[in-house]
Chains A and B, each alone.
Chain A
Amino acid sequence: QVQLVESGGGVVQPGKSLRLSCAASGFSFSTYAIHWVRQAPGKGLEWVAVVWHDGSNRYYADSVKGRFTISRDNSKNTLYLQMNSLRVEDTAVYYCARDNFWNGYGYFDYWGQGTLVTVSS
């Protein structure tokens, strides 16, 4: 069965960096675009970034552009989110979600369980 498992969350000070991982299994990872979506405590869902199936294109929300980098290693079936210059407002549960299409223009059919990032001094 399709599984997405996030890791790497934790408590970090403002201005510092953190890298999240999303390990995929149960499907052909290199066939699908994958997204990061976040949810601040008690709030709604916010799309963060997407990477195409082959890593050739990446797109970001304005709120993280220039600070976050999405990448993937298809040989390891793993997605990453490098988060730099973290701000208090980046505090959230971060989910990886599979797009049903290769270029990120489909719907999100499978989600991981999420990993919590807390930015606090």
Chain B
Amino acid sequence: EIVLTQSPGTLSLSPGERATLSCRASQSVGSSYLAWFQQKPGQAPRLLMYGASNRATGIPDRFSGSGSGTDFTLTISRLEPEDFAVYYCQQYGGSPQTFGQGTKLEIK
């Protein structure tokens, strides 16, 4: 199975700053079948990005995704207070689908 490794484990930033989250796959994720989710405490995950760089419905354009093959990045251009949460990447190009272990984005 494809193992996804996210870094850093925790990212401490202030509102207004830029956040860069990384997701690295143990083997190539075919056709950029890579998604990003945001999860806040007590809530279900919410789809942010799919196909590595496509924003899901209703996701603000301060969120962007990039990458291909084994290296992917989620960027939040200017952090808003509601962006502090845990972020997971997921690959759906291989079976079984797998998730990264998550990056916690916390307020500095």
The interface bits of chain A over 28-52 (1 if a CB of B lies within 8 angstroms of the residue's CB, else 0) are: 0000000100000000111100000
Which of A35, A44, A106, A110 is close to B100, meaning CB atoms less than 8 Å apart? A44
Q: Is there an interface contact between A107 and B90, defined as CB atoms closer than 8 Å?
A: yes
Q: Please report the C-alpha to C-alpha distance between residue A108 and residue B43 in the assembled complex, in whole angstroms.
A: 15
Q: Count residues on chain B whose CB falls below 8 Å from chain A CBs.
A: 22
Docked Cα-Cα span, A112 to B44, in Å, equals 7
Interface range for A: 10 to 19
Residues on A with beta carbons closer than 8 Å to the beta carbon of B47: 107-111
In the complex the two chains form, what is the Cα distance from A45 to B97 in whole Å? 11
Given contacts A47-B96, A47-B99, A59-B95, contact A111 B46 (CB under 8 A): yes
Cβ of A105 under 8 Å from chain B:
yes
CB pair B92–A105 under 8 Å, yes or no, is: yes
Q: What CA separation (Å) do A35 and B98 show in the bound complex?
A: 13
Q: Enumerate chain A residues within 8 angstroms of B95, measured Cβ to Cβ.
A: 59, 105
Assess whether B44 is in contact with A95, with CB atoms less than 8 Å apart: yes
Report chain B residues within 8 Å CB of A100.
Answer: 50
CA distance A59 to B97 in the complex (A): 11
Q: Which residues in chain B, 33-91, are within 8 Å of chain A measured between CB atoms?
A: 33, 35, 37, 43-47, 50-51, 56, 88, 90
* Chain B CB within 10 A, most for which of A35, A46, A108: A108
A61-B96 contact, Cβ under 8 Å, with A95-B44, A111-B44: yes
In the assembled complex, how far is the CB of residue A106 from the closest CB belonging to chain B, in whole angstroms?
Answer: 6
Residues of chain A with a CB closer than 8 A to B96's CB: 47, 59, 61
A49 to B, closest residue via Cβ: B96
